[in-house]
Amino acid sequence: MSKSIFITGASSGIGEALAQEFARRGYAVAITGRRAERLEALATQLRGLGAAAVLPLALDVTDFATIDMALERAAREFGRLDVVVANAGVGYSLPVGRGKFELVRQTIDTDLTGAIATLEFALPRLRAQGGGQLVAVTSVAASRGMPFMGAYSAAKAGLHRYVQALRAEVRHEPIVVTELAPGYIDTDMNRMVKNRPFVIPLERGGAIMARLIERGVGRRHVPAWPWALLAPLTKLIPTRLLAPPPRKHRGS
């Protein structure tokens, strides 16, 4: 029987790349996202890549109650869910205190609360079937609050701490908990960023992450080099070196 995987935020970016990688590995793949037309096009592609089965499901993870329904449908379709990936996320440049709170809330609702909700609803199903793997996609941005990335950094740092607690609580159960913390992977979300140090192609990022998921790792940066070294070091950078130039104010 083929293994199965459920991926949130699969209509583009890392989620799409993961779906393609696991289709090539012969998994049954449930792909979810807000853009139904993108999911249908991807589903056709995944079948051509060798997926054992494909189930596209329109899902907005900020509509928390619908996550459980999507997981239930995928579990019924595939018989079980071997891997559940909480990947859905948004990212905006959000200077603090500039009237962007609605986008701040959207970031927290999607990247933190939506991800936690996915894992919370998935865990009882994995327990009931005798085991499985939960995967959370965080970010190197969780290591340090960076200018204009306060909400994103806060959401990913919060998810990182939640996953730590989750891993400790299920340590004696047949549940694997994996956290993947990418650096810059070339996606639509970050292509407008002027400086993307050590950026890697999306296809490479997806392949690395798929291998790490199949290996059942605990926590890894993607790619490991140089982020395993650099991410912890960002905590030591003085704030004055990160601060943007002072804003110019017009005279009265």
pLDDT in tens, 136-148: 999 999 999 988 9
Residues 81 and 71: beta-carbon distance below 8 Å: yes
* Span 45-65, pLDDT tens digits: 999 999 999 999 999 999 999
pLDDT cut 90: percent of the chain above it: 85
Distance between CA atoms of 138 and 134, rounded to whole angstroms? 13
For residues 204-223, give the mean pLDDT: 98
Of 79, 54, 81, nearest in space to 67 by CA? 81
For 198, the token pair is 């050590």
Residue indicated by tokens 């948004």: 90
Domains of the chain: 4-242 (3.40.50.720)
Is a pLDDT exceeding 60 seen at residue 127? Answer: yes
Residues 39 and 63: beta-carbon distance below 8 Å: no
Contacts of residue 18, defined as CB under 8 A and 6 or more positions apart, other chains included, come to 5, 7, 10, 85, 87, 206, 209, 210, 213
Is a pLDDT exceeding 70 seen at residue 250? Answer: no
Predicted confidence at residue 252, as pLDDT, reads 41
Q: Which residues are tagged catalytic? A: 152
Residue indicated by tokens 């696991």: 22
- Cα first-last separation, the chain: 73
**Average pLDDT of the chain, as a whole number:** 94
For 105, the token pair is 């809330």
